[in-house]
Amino acid sequence: MRIGEVAARTGVSVRSLRYYEEQGLLNSTRSASGQRHYTAKEVARVEFIQRMYAAGLSSRTIAELLPCVDSPSEENSDAALERMVQERERLSEHIADLIRTRDSLDGLIRANRAHREELAS
């Protein structure tokens, strides 16, 4: 199938599919005229890549995890597990930062409301 059909089936833009190829996340074969062609296997891979992006992983991290998907082995599995643990820790730190930011904003909102009440009285 052509790139447009893969895009339609997966809900991913043609530009994103080209980016996935540039990053080494996705492969296609080329016709004599240079058109990209994909199989159902690549459609499933695009869906997998989308799940990884939804989990907050970067294309670089996804590329590091793909060997475990492509050629499962104990070594690949161990490396993938370690990388996922690192990513989870990174996300947890980011969540903690967001919570601190939200708490600071809540304090500013309370101060603003108190100030407005003082002005109103």
> Residue 60: inside a domain, yes or no?
no
pLDDT of residue 69: 85
How many domains, the chain?
Answer: 1
CA distance 98 to 92: 10
Domain around 4: 1-54
> Residue 26: inside a domain, yes or no?
yes
> Residue 103: inside a domain, yes or no?
no
Q: What is the mean pLDDT of each run of 10 residues along the chain (121 residues)?
A: 95 96 94 93 95 92 89 87 92 96 98 95 87
> Residue 14: inside a domain, yes or no?
yes
**What residues does 37 pair with on adjacent strands?**
2, 29
Q: Where are the alpha helices (DSSP H) in the chain?
A: 3-10, 14-22, 40-54, 59-70, 74-120
CA distance 19 to 11: 15
Output Rg (C-alpha) for the chain, integer angstroms: 22
> Residue 16: inside a domain, yes or no?
yes
pLDDT of residue 17: 96
Question: Are 43 and 9 within 8 A, CB to CB?
Answer: yes
Q: Which residues contact 25 (CB under 8 A, 6 or more apart)?
A: 45, 49, 59, 62, 63, 66
> Residue 106: inside a domain, yes or no?
no
- Domain holding 34: CATH number? 1.10.1660.10
> Residue 28: inside a domain, yes or no?
yes
